[in-house]
Amino acid sequence: MRGPHNIWRLIRTGATFERTGAMGVALDAMQAPRNVRVAARVLGWPFRWLGYAGDPALPPVTRAITALGPAYIKFGQIMSTRPDVVGADLAQQLSYLQDKLPPFPTDIARQMIEADFGAPLDTLFSEFSAPVAAASIAQVHRARRADTGAEVAVKVLRPNIVTAFSRDIDAFHFGADLIEALSPSTRRLRPKDVVSHFEGVVNGELDLRLEAASASLFAENTRDDAHFSVPKPHWELTSRRVLTSDWAEGISLGEVGAIRAAGHDTSALAERILQLFLSHALRDGFFHGDMHQGNLKVGANGDLIAYDFGIMGEIDEYTRRIYAEILMGFIRRDYEGLAHVHFEAGYVPRDRDPAAFARALRSVGEPIFGAEASRISMANLLGYLFEVTERFGMQTRTELILLQRTMVVVEGVARSLDPNLNIWKTARPVVEDYIKANLGPRALVTDSRKILRTLHRAMPLMPVLIEDAIWRARQRAEAPLTPPPRRFNWRSASIGGVVTAAVLLVAAALS
């Protein structure tokens, strides 16, 4: 419950930030208003002796977050997706936050597996290693199935992690409420939505059946993608606390020297990573939301292998089209068209000057396109874009947070393989193919067919819906609205308005 009892948790958090020297750094990075700064100091400075010391070898904010535990580590990772909230420099620092904790004992993992599947572990796995990786939420063991002999990865949640995260997330919600109450100007950044976004991401990771479902869907979507593979889940050995999947054997993308020594073309690999990400986001609307080097490998055959599907991004078809038009606007340097897309989508308030906004977007794009290929950066573009949109009153688009963050991460991974990669040249064919398929004449035909199918299903309702719509129009035109002569279904009337509009739209499209 988000009650005053959370004040103690906030005090412990503030005390730790004060003790580690992170408080001032974090407040400056977020350009926190004076009243928020005062509240933070009140919750921190007098109680700094209660704070955790952390590892003095780490930078202040990273030191504080790791000292506070798993939920804060995960929150720090998520906040690395929000340079508009924490600032570009701190977001960069948080993006390198080490999500590594000491593993819990293998005996406990064995007990959890046996409890979930109701069988001795030795009857499930002929081999079961000590932890090969340990993070804030779960750890991974390398194993071999007893029945098939297949080599698998077994991911096991940390014991009691659900309770621990629920307690801390409750405190985060309380803190967001407090920040918005103390400083209404922060509502543009939607701190409540940020915490809700974090809660949704974490809840998805705390049920490993959901991660297995994401892996299964991602594998289906990408089965025809050349030189790309996804470890498939083993459903019969998967539960809420345990996920068993194919073992991914390969070289981590963080080991660039080893990749080159194995004879792989790092430039081609860099292009493939970027183009695959854009294809998944635009074509499927379902993409890997955590594509850092630790979740990517190169197989012996040169295939790119992605794993760990706890964080996945999803965007609807309309948003995908808007995103593609925004990318293409920058690629073509069509700033007037780019401004029009922002206004049409409602991303910028309509009372702002479109011409001024187009000029501001030009100031974002031109310095980047005038630079050498090695200096063209999506991260820089997003940083400038955040500044411009803030000046024009654009609210944070929570549905694009993960997409924007992942694009920056993917750029970093690609650049680690090929520092001279031209981001825009690489992205252009993917974006153009998507636009041809979804915004051209073919798309108009496809959309019209979808509308017609919807209208066909609604045909039995059409007479009464149209009659109700006509009656309401006459009542508005002739006299104050009075009860109709028979029972009136407001929901049907609303549907009628939509259907009538759809009929006109289809007629116009096909004429």
Question: Which of the 8 DSSP states describes residue 280?
Answer: I
Report yes or no: 176 and 194 within 8 Å, Cβ to Cβ.
yes
Give the pLDDT confidence of 328-349 residue by residue, as tens digits.
888 788 899 888 888 888 888 8
Domain residue extents for the chain: 6-98, 100-167+179-247, 251-439, 442-510
Least confident of 39-53, 242-256, 349-363: 39-53
Q: What is the mean pLDDT of the chain?
A: 79
CB burial of residue 377 (10 Å; 0-12, 13-18, 19+): middle
Output the CA–CA distances (angstroms, integers) from residue 411 to 18, 381, 388, 423, in the order listed.
34, 12, 22, 8
Active site residue 290: yes
- Supply the pLDDT for residue 273: 93
Q: How far apart are the first and last CA of the chain?
A: 57
Q: Distance of alpha carbon 85 from its chain centroid, rounded?
A: 15
Give the pLDDT confidence of 456-488 residue by residue, as tens digits.
777 787 788 788 888 887 777 765 545 555 444
Percent of the chain with pLDDT over 70: 74
Residues 6+ apart with CB under 8 A from 444: 509
Give the pLDDT confidence of 144-190 residue by residue, as tens digits.
999 999 999 999 999 988 887 877 787 777 777 777 776 665 565 56
Q: Does 256 have pLDDT greater than 50?
A: yes
Q: Does 506 have pLDDT greater than 50?
A: no
Q: Which residue of the set 84, 170, 246, 290 is catalytic?
A: 290
List phi, psi (to 5°) of 484. -70, 165
Give the pLDDT confidence of 104-152 residue by residue, as tens digits.
999 999 999 999 999 999 999 999 999 998 877 899 999 999 999 999 9
Residue with tokens 């009860």: 483
Write out the two tokens for 58.
């780490």
pLDDT band with cut points at 50, 70 and 90 for residue 95: low
- Supply the pLDDT for residue 372: 59
Write out the two tokens for 487.
């029972």
Report yes or no: 185 and 33 within 8 Å, Cβ to Cβ.
yes
> Is the whole model's pTM more than 0.95, yes or no?
no
- Supply the pLDDT for residue 366: 81
